[in-house]
Structure 1
Amino acid sequence: MTTASAGGRAKKQVSAEVRREQLVAAALRVMKKEGIAAATTRAICAEAGMPHGAFHYCFRSKRELYAALLSTDMNITFGEAWPTVVPTADPADSIRTLLRAYWSTVQEDPETQLVLSELVNLALREPELSELPRWEHRTYLEKVVSHIERYADEAHLELTVDVRALAEMVISALGGVVSSWLSHRDDAVALRTLDGFAAAFATLTRPRRAG
């Protein structure tokens, strides 16, 4: 969609959704460089190259912005790894492939993980933001449940534990590995730990019985 500018040239209109995405990206950049406290609405709009009023056009509050930022972590998926997972392979190998695929995205951008961890801690301390961590966890849990169900279906496996219980284990394992790695930054230790979790999770599966 375009409109005519004062000089007669066509000016492209940017949708509210695109502006939201640009503001979220700008907020993340500000937070990575200067910390969460520095991410005022004015600083975020300046980073995005937008007038200050654009923020309240796209977000009703900073709470909405924080929710959008927390969704960044949930958008890390195992999707790119699926083509490399062979359904007939040993479950430990396949699960290791999926966990390492997630890990590679974390390893590429540790600063984002630091910001997201700080955001969760902030929300836990602020009554008006306290619902955000619960919302993030519920949403993330549903995504992991869907990944597990997809893998079990494609690999013709059944679980020996409830799928949601296993999803909670996966989330706890990934969160723990990320938290530890942010402290020690030893890639080899993180990978060995993930591989250990993959082997453990594989013991909670078995071949699906016929019929």
Structure 2
Amino acid sequence: MRKLRTKSDVTRAQIIQGALQALEKTGVIGTTTRSIAAEANVQLATLHYHFESKSTLLVAVLEALIDEIAERLREDRAGTEPDLDDRIELLIHGTWRSIMRSRARQIVQYELTLYALREGAQWLADQQYEAYLRLYRDQLTSKSEKSELSTAGYTSLARFILAGIDGLILQELVKPSRTRSNQVIEALIFGAKQYSQQLRQEALMVIR
């Protein structure tokens, strides 16, 4: 989690947490700024001081959810510099562990995406997708001077993994089966490794 330095930071985090709790209980449509303020135990005026609209607060909720996953992924890699295959495994396993900790939060994220698309807030859906794509790409990219793939290659690999994770989340939400999902996760890891090899070979061909 981000270090909270001021009283304002603490209040802002409190509101975001209250928003997440309200969204988990009543969904995006049923959640109002008033209900969020009540859940966060702050005055409505205080909420509006920190967030000018419900949309800006929803963006902050999305950022907090992504930060939570990012922190856990960084902890998995702490003090190591794994190769690309290992980074793929760490990313997919770590992401899936974080996702499975809260079914309600995954429903909220899907609701946020659909809400954004229905309400004409394409930017919110775009921001959510791009944030996850950026997170995955950063986790896949080597921190050493020698990178296995180009930036475009890492982006393509991140998009492939994100598509697989998104599909698996929806399947798990509709018809839960940890055994089946774990098998699919292993298949996704295998497929991502194969795709990364293809991307590396294509990069070598371009160089030649």
C-alpha displacement of 1:183: 1.0
Number of aligned positions between the proteins: 191
* Cα 1:86/1:53, change in 2 over 3 Å: closer
Aligned residue identity for 1:116: Q
Query: Would you say the 8 A contact 1:30–1:39 is kept in 2?
Result: yes
Partner of 1:42: 34
Gaps of 5+ in 2: 1-5
Structure 1 SS opposite 2:130 = helix
Query: Would you say the 8 A contact 1:141–1:167 is kept in 2?
Result: yes
Structure 2 SS opposite 1:108 = coil
Query: Would you say the 8 A contact 1:81–1:97 is kept in 2?
Result: yes
TM-score between the two structures when normalised by the length of structure 1: 0.79
Cα distance in structure 1, aligned partners of 2:76 and 2:60: 25
TM-score between the two structures when normalised by the length of structure 2: 0.80
Match of 2:156 among 165, 173, 187: 165
Percent of pairs with identical residues: 25
Per mean C-alpha deviation after superposition, the further-off stretch among 136-145 and 98-107 is: 136-145
Aligned residue identity for 1:114: I
Choose 1 or 2 for highest CA Rg: 1
Partner of 1:79: 74
Aligned residue identity for 2:190: A
Cα distance in structure 1, aligned partners of 2:158 and 2:175: 26
C-alpha displacement of 1:189: 1.1
Cα distance in structure 2, aligned partners of 1:94 and 1:48: 37
Partner of 1:139: 131
State whether structure 2 residue 118 is matched by structure 1 residue 125.
Answer: yes
Structure 1 SS opposite 2:52 = coil
* Cα 1:157/1:201, change in 2 over 3 Å: farther
* Cα 1:85/1:169, change in 2 over 3 Å: farther
Cα shift readout 1:137-175 (whole Å, capped 9, x = no counterpart):
222222221111137x49x76249722111111111111
Query: Would you say the 8 A contact 1:100–1:191 is kept in 2?
Result: no
Aligned residue identity for 1:126: E
Question: Which structure shows the higher helix fraction?
Answer: 2
Aligned residue identity for 1:80: E
Structure 1 SS opposite 2:180 = helix
Match of 1:24 among 16, 37, 41: 16
Match of 1:108 among 98, 101, 104: 101
Cα distance in structure 2, aligned partners of 1:18 and 1:83: 27
State whether structure 2 residue 168 is matched by structure 1 residue 177.
Answer: yes
Question: What RMSD, in angstroms, separates the aligned Cα atoms of the two structures?
Answer: 2.7
Gaps of 5+ in 1: 1-13
Query: Would you say the 8 A contact 1:23–1:55 is kept in 2?
Result: yes
C-alpha displacement of 1:182: 0.8
Runs of 4 or more off by more than 6 Å in structure 1? Answer: none
